[in-house]
Chain A
């Protein structure tokens, strides 16, 4: 195999592997939302506060997936 095609192959495999980290973020967002929805069901008056904190929690969990995404994008388009 010539060097150029080996490089592209490595890039694609690396970008794909980098996105494995999104698993954790997906599970995390699911747990956050499930807890928030249960809390809202038990105490509908507190919906506003719960929603704010839920969005913050989702943002923190999502940040990890975004790191993976940025690494994958860097591998694909920069190197």
Chain B
């Protein structure tokens, strides 16, 4: 009795492996037979505009276009909201042990809460929501970029610089389905604007847009200052303009004042390092997958997808954890120092 199901499980894995191997072998032969080479997609640093006209114009700031990273933030928001709805349903169901998505989120939130409690102490209740919200949003946006088709399906766009030839695949209703492919020869023979097309994808993970990471960094660093004022009142400003011992201890007082100015500079450099860390990691990851997919189209991209999976997780946790640590530092400040003097 116990032999039979075991065998069936074994047979299932063999069939699965055969299917995967067949797909892997089929793809290159199919491609080579048709003369299709893997191509390197055009890399754009800013989010590509999907709308020709700006949606609206903000005075003094400039026009607002619908870019493909806007799709990224909308999708990430939807995912976070769906998770919230699922968890609130799970909590309201009254089960003692949460199951499914709410159980998974409970484990994550518990781990984050434990880290916050260890660092922030009595300010955990105020600081934890920022930590968890930032981590969840960045995590959702990072992992959404790993879905197949995320940066490959989009609008075919005419490019001025370089691109690939256009090929019709068919049509569904009035919608033409086209692809770009490498014909092997430079397509300059067809004229100046002959066969130069690139794909502008519908969706790109929002962390690869500097605007998003910079905005998130501004919010995080601003809230660090707010936490500092909430914990210490106006005394928080002595961190930046420290003249407490300026006259009583001339030399060390002067050094303290200089250190305060450096603290002010470091607040601004925090914004930059927050923004560039997330952006650089995720953008480099996207480019890495592009390059690997065009160099070694089979097997290798899977490894890099796994790497990007971990990078997305680690960067989300690092962004949240740094915010939490800076907030905890701002709440502590020189408070103990003053108490010791008094």
- A residues sitting closer than 8 Å to B (CB atoms) are 48-49, 52, 55-56, 59, 62-63, 66-67, 69-70, 73-74, 76-78
The verdict on A78 contacting B276 (CB below 8 Å), with A52-B115, A56-B322, A69-B284 known, is no
Q: Is the interface of A mostly helix, strand, loop or mixed?
A: helix
Contacts of B44 in A (CB 8 A): 77
B residues bordering A, Cβ < 8 Å?
43-45, 114-115, 118-119, 273, 276-277, 279-281, 283-284, 287, 314, 317-318, 321-322, 325
Is there contact, CB below 8 Å, between B43 and A66?
Answer: no
Give the distance in Å from the alpha carbon of A67 to the alpha carbon of B284 in the complex.
12
Contacts A55-B314, A56-B325: A70 and B118 contacting too (C-beta < 8 A)?
no
Tell me if B45 and A55 are in contact (CB < 8 A): no
A63 with B314: in contact, given A69-B284, A73-B283 (CB under 8 Å)? no
User: At the interface, is chain B mostly helix, strand, loop or mixed?
Assistant: helix
Number of A-B contacts (CB under 8 A): 46
Complex alpha-carbon distance, A69 and B314, angstroms: 18
**Given A59-B318, A73-B280, A77-B44, 11 further pairs, Cβ under 8 A:** A49-B118, A52-B118, A55-B318, A56-B318, A66-B276, A66-B281, A69-B280, A69-B284, A70-B276, A73-B287, A77-B43
Q: CA of A62 to CA of B311 in the docked complex: distance in angstroms?
A: 12
Max chain A Cβ within 10 angstroms of own Cβ: one of B118, B280, B283, B318: B280
Complex Cα distance, B118 from A74, in Å, reads 39
Residues of B within 8 A of A52 (CB): 115, 118-119, 321
Query: Can you identify 12 A-B contacts, CB atoms within 8 angstroms?
Result: A52-B115, A52-B119, A56-B322, A59-B321, A59-B322, A66-B281, A66-B284, A67-B280, A70-B279, A76-B43, A77-B43, A78-B45
Are B321 and A70 in touch, CB under 8 angstroms? Answer: no
- B residues in contact with A67, CB < 8 Å: 276, 280
Task: Tell me the bound Cα distance from A73 to B46 in angstroms.
Answer: 11
Residues of chain A contacted by B280 (CB below 8 angstroms): 66-67, 69-70, 73
Which residues from chain B contact A74 at a C-beta distance below 8 Å? 45
Q: Give Cα A36 to B276, complex, Å.
A: 26
Least CB distance from B36 to A in Å reads 26
Q: How far is the CA of A21 from the CA of B7 in the complex (A)?
A: 55
Residues of B within 8 A of A70 (CB): 276, 279-280
Closest to B119 in A: A52
C-alpha spacing A70/B214, complex, angstroms:
14
Cα-based distance from A49 to B283 in the complex (angstroms): 30
For B114, the closest partner residue in chain A by CB is A48
Nearest 3 A/B pairs, CB to CB: A66-B280, A59-B318, A77-B45
B327 to chain A, nearest CB (A): 14
